[in-house]
Amino acid sequence: MSNTQYLTGQFLIAMPQMMDKPFARSLIFLCAHTAEGAMGLIINQRAGTMKFQDVFSQLDVEAAAADLGTARVNFGGPVEPRRGFVLHSTDRLEESSLAVSEDVALTSTIDILRAIAQGTGPRRALLALGYAGWSAGQLDQEIQNNAWLSVEPDNALLFDTNLDTKWHRAIAKLGVDITMLSSEAGHA
């Protein structure tokens, strides 16, 4: 796969026939995709009933911004499910932040959580536990096998808290009728 085809910063949409938990009907924001592999966060699944306040309490971070404490935590994927990742707008960056795109960054240190708790964090943020990962060539092969569709991201969809409709809205961005999607590859 050439550099121009790498999908960093794109949405991955699970095809309707994918039934494997936790990827069935998942929408993933791809944070990195290189020849060495890929890493992304599922952005349309909750981490049970966990809220930001629960995370703040576990890390002894005092939350001054009371409304943030009730924000829910996402399930980012099955790899390292106890590790936290914050996808956020680039208006606040930490030294360890990874710029995924011009307006989205990924940070996995407690500094960004402290900033969020104090009300000085990024304007938009999504906290996820765990991530989805692929080894070298694995994601490329899954895409070739019609397991995933990719689509340009949009921040309104990325940071929207209505998780139940994200998968359908991402497919709608493609202008495709979901009932017409097939698991059969059409290679010429």
How is 10-38 classified by DSSP, letter by letter?
A: -EEEE-TT---TTTTT-EEEEEEEETTEE
14-46 residue pLDDT tens: 999 999 889 999 999 999 999 999 999 999 999
Other beta carbons less than 10 A from residue 73's beta carbon: 20
Is 69 or 147 the better-scoring residue by pLDDT?
147
User: How much of the chain exceeds pLDDT 70, in percent?
Assistant: 89
What is the structure's pLDDT at 68? 59
Please check whether residue 89 is in contact with residue 122, taking contact to mean a CB–CB distance below 8 angstroms: yes
Reported confidence tier of residue 183, pLDDT bands at 50, 70, 90 = low
What is the structure's pLDDT at 2? 41
Q: What residues does each domain of the chain span?
A: 3-88+126-180
What is the structure's pLDDT at 187? 43
Q: Which CATH number is correct for 3-88+126-180, 3.40.1360.10, 3.30.2130.30, 3.90.950.20, 3.40.1740.10?
A: 3.40.1740.10
User: How much of the chain exceeds pLDDT 90, in percent?
Assistant: 68
Mean pLDDT across the chain? 88
Does position 102 have pLDDT exceeding 90, yes or no? Answer: yes
Is 68 or 135 the better-scoring residue by pLDDT?
135
Mean pLDDT throughout 155-161?
93
Q: How far apart are CA 174 and CA 154, in angstroms?
A: 12
What is the structure's pLDDT at 3? 45
What is the structure's pLDDT at 1? 41
Sign of CA dihedral 13, 16, 20, 24: positive
What is the structure's pLDDT at 188? 43
Cα-based angle 44, 30, 165 (whole degrees, multiple of 5): 20
Reported confidence tier of residue 48, pLDDT bands at 50, 70, 90 = confident
Q: How far apart are CA 153 and CA 129, in angstroms?
A: 21
